[in-house]
Amino acid sequence: MTLYILRHGETEFNRRGIVQGSGVDTELNTTGLSQARAFYEAYEDVDFQLVVTSALKRAQQTVRHFIERDIPWIQTADINEISWGEHEGLHSTPERVALYNRMISEWKTGNLDASLPKGETARQLSERVGRFIDWIKTRPEKRILIATHGRTLRCLITMLKGLEPAEMERVSHNNTGLYVIHFQNDAFVFEVENDTSHLADMAV
């Protein structure tokens, strides 16, 4: 099995520095739609047998061109973005950034129960991501395309590497950044990490 895992394309909230999370169901902006098209044109010849997305529109729109080819498609909230609680839909002020950085520091020390006010913890995120990994291992398809979100992708890649969720900050992600991972002999082998070469011809 080979997994193609990517983060969704750009949204207007991304561009404006507004917190999204699982509770904000934004759509791709013009740049994001162009990124999605560029990704499709780069990988349209891959014989994907299954498309898996979160339940949120920005992830679904990122791989819409594949879905429209009637490739089997499954939506699962297990790979929705993390909930950022009361910060969702708000600009990143210095005070909110300080709270976020404090939470990340707690995660790094192993306190996975830290969260933003009324938000999801790293432990809760890793539990549903772990459930998703267990499910994906059972799939019979040989090539699966997966579209998810920044923080969830960080958690997913960390766990696929056999690392603890406390190490999530080591994972990089960009809009439509792609990871290609082979599942063989009950192990995940990484071929490509956060690749955005498909965006090379996009106008800046």
What interhelical angle do 150-160 and 122-137 show, nearest 10? 60
Report in angstroms the alpha-carbon separations of 147 from 39, 131, 156, 186, 203: 12, 16, 12, 22, 23
Q: Which amino acid is at 73?
A: W
pLDDT at 202: 80
Per DSSP bridges, beta strands 187-195 and 178-184 are: antiparallel
- In eight-state DSSP terms, residue 127 is H
Residue 77, both tokens: 């909230």
pLDDT per position in the chain (204 positions), as tens?
999 999 999 999 999 989 999 999 999 999 999 999 999 999 999 999 999 999 999 999 999 999 999 999 999 999 999 999 999 999 989 999 999 999 999 999 999 999 999 999 999 999 999 999 999 999 999 999 999 999 999 999 999 999 999 999 999 999 999 999 999 999 999 999 999 999 998 854
Distance between CA atoms of residues 11 and 20, nearest Å: 9
Q: State the fold for domain 2-199.
A: Rossmann fold (3.40.50)
Q: Where are the domains of the chain?
A: 2-199
pLDDT at 92: 85
